[in-house]
Amino acid sequence: MKNKSWLSLSLSLSLSLSLCLMSVATHAQESQVDVIVINADIRTSNPAQPKAQAFAVNKGKFMAVGNNAFIKNMATQKTKIIDAKGKTVLPGLTDAHTHLLGGIELWQGVDLFGIKDRKQWFKIIAKRDKELAKGTWLVGGRWDVSDLDDPSMPTRQELDAIVPDRPVVLQDIDYHTVWLNTKAMQLLGIDKDTQAPQGGEIIKDSTTGEPTGIFKETAANQLVLSHPLYTAAILSGNDAIPTLHQIVAHFNSLGITSVHDMWAELATVYTTLADSQKQLPMRIHFGLMVADDQANLIQLQRYAKQRDELNQRFIEREKQWQNGPKFRFGYMKYFVDGTLMSYTAALNKPYSDRQHFNIDPITSQIKLNELVKNTNEVGFPVAIHAIGDKSVDIALNAIESTSKHLQMANRIEHIEVISKVATSRFAELGVVASMQPDHAIAGNYQESRLGADRLPYSYAWKTLLSYGASMVLGSDWPTAPENPMIQLSDVIFREYNGKTRYSDDALSLDEALYAYTQAPANIAGWGNEIGSISVGKWADFLILQDTLKLPLNKNIRDWKVIQTWFAGQKVFDRQLKLNNTEK
């Protein structure tokens, strides 16, 4: 009996061993390594393993991360081997505040960014007018009067002299002001008797009372940019989807593989993409920008239903695509104020260069409390545009007033100046600080608007992190450069005209990278799928032109991305692009 038991056990162990070996063999066969990267300076954004030399990719995901010897042994004859030759490799970057759909207008129209001569504006506009088909709207913009010798606002008459017979709508650099010609005003039904909505302004001629063609804040959004005629002209055209593909390809060339996109239109472009045969190599966490009167509880419930239906369509498509999350309608975007440049940011004390001037927030505390409560109740986090310290306080109060604020990734956008008492509230309330570094560096008006007493609380990046806040970084493109190397340089050096600007609130390289990679993945709900070079995550990564060494060289703002990979597939190669250009 004893021998029989031993024999039975022996046979059982042999069978188990055989099955185990078969399983190992099968796993090895299934685990064919598609790509390995070796000899790299890998900054993973994974605190458990901050740096590595190499990694392996299989079926679009990171299979192993470690040293050269370990990873090299995983290669087979079919494995593509990339020798990084010491260059820095980063996770795919996330621009946590951008407006991809807004960029469609720039691609289709005119881009006046950085043009400091008003006459040059008119030449560019006239040239584009001749290139467009009859009936097409001329759009785009990024004009900036603060860069001109004459900072006076432009007029519709100036546009009429160049383009009298097609509608022209040009947004300013901050996207809070629009400049129209007479034709556009006529089509949109705007005349002398049109009243500005609350929180907005229609600039009118002091003599005639006629609109000058300049519309600010809610007047720009509600009377122009959200008008069905305008959105139909821009986003419903045959060129909208191909243009978006061009924009995404450009973002890929900068190492960006994910964005938090915010725009006032959802029903056309992204719904079409859900059924498109051509995928976008981009992961999009979308926030819908809406006016207060569009955000009552009944309307929010409709948005929630739209969210669930659209997200489910993408989930089903992603099962076919097999390269990770591509799109989620995830949050709602609200506004409390405007901008410092235009004196429409709400401050606790008057502007330093207008001693007796201040402005009320666009949205009252009572109204914002209701908006945030209702939005959280239907399962949406909020993203609140708040630039002035008064607006930031109001936004924090509104989030604190909701019972679900610790369950939601509620966020405040911009935070260009903060009150001393607010510095600890972000962490206490679980509010994400969403900030855009180049806004701190590129502007030439912060010191005059805020004065010396408030400057230590301006763009308080390090301060907020030191209190334990979660922070994400982005560009706010098209209002600022979309290049992450510029944004990272600005947040690390805070340098303007050769000196550190505002305070010593700069971030370290690791802090900045985390805020451009893992932190935005976390608040999008994708933290376990993307955001770091970690085993099991989708292989989104980029290779820089050189090695990031401490102390950092200040020329990193000019560095280029050599390659960008999305879910284990190369989506940008600078050398290939150069070769194609040469042909």
User: What pLDDT is stored for residue 199 in this prediction?
Assistant: 81
By the 8 A CB rule, do 446 and 458 touch?
Answer: yes
Burial class (CB in 10 A: 0-12, 13-18, 19+), 166: middle
User: What pLDDT is stored for residue 579 in this prediction?
Assistant: 55
Task: Identify the bridge partners of residue 211 per DSSP, sorted by sequence position.
Answer: 204
Q: How far apart are the first and last CA of the chain?
A: 83
Q: How far apart are CA 423 and CA 411, in angstroms?
A: 14
User: For residue 224, is pLDDT > 50?
Assistant: yes
> Which residues have C-beta within 8 Å of that of residue 69, sequence separation ≥ 6?
none
SS3 string, 95-126, reads EEEECHHHHHHHHHCEECCCCCCHHHHHHHHH
pLDDT in tens, 498-553: 778 777 899 999 999 999 999 999 999 999 999 999 999 999 999 999 999 999 99
User: For residue 5, is pLDDT > 50?
Assistant: no
Q: How far apart are CA 34 and CA 59, in angstroms?
A: 7
Structure tokens at 287: 């926030």
User: What pLDDT is stored for residue 583 in this prediction?
Assistant: 33
User: What pLDDT is stored for residue 216 in this prediction?
Assistant: 93
The residue-averaged pLDDT of 227-244 equals 81
User: For residue 170, is pLDDT > 70?
Assistant: yes
Write down the residue that tokens 């996330």 correspond to: 94
Task: Identify the bridge partners of residue 561 per DSSP, sorted by sequence position.
Answer: 544
User: For residue 8, is pLDDT > 60?
Assistant: no
SS3 string, 169-233, reads EEEECCCCEEEECHHHHHHCCCCCCCCCCCCEEEEECCCCCCEEEEEEEHHHHHHHHCCHHHHHH
The residue-averaged pLDDT of 82-88 equals 97
Helix axes 228-235 and 100-108, enclosed angle (nearest 10):
70
- Run of H or E including 270: helix 269-273
pLDDT band at 7 (very low <50, low <70, confident <90, very high): very low
More confident residue, 264 or 383: 383
User: What pLDDT is stored for residue 264 in this prediction?
Assistant: 86
User: What pLDDT is stored for residue 321 in this prediction?
Assistant: 95
pLDDT in tens, 340-391: 988 999 999 999 999 888 889 999 999 999 999 999 999 999 999 999 999 9
SS3 string, 472-521, reads EECCCECCCCCCHHHHHHHHHHCEECCEECCCCCCCCHHHHHHHCCHHHH
- Run of H or E including 577: helix 574-582
User: What pLDDT is stored for residue 26 in this prediction?
Assistant: 38
Residue 242 has phi, psi (to 5 degrees) of -60, -35
By the 8 A CB rule, do 139 and 109 touch?
Answer: yes
Report CA Rg, the chain.
26
Average pLDDT, the chain: 91
Q: What percent of the chain has pLDDT over 70?
A: 93
pLDDT in tens, 28-66: 344 689 999 999 999 999 999 999 999 999 999 999 999
The residue-averaged pLDDT of 292-316 equals 94
Q: How far apart are CA 487 and CA 255, in angstroms?
A: 13
- Select the highest-mean-pLDDT range: 109-118, 149-158, 366-375, 490-499: 366-375
The residue-averaged pLDDT of 179-187 equals 97
User: What pLDDT is stored for residue 445 in this prediction?
Assistant: 84
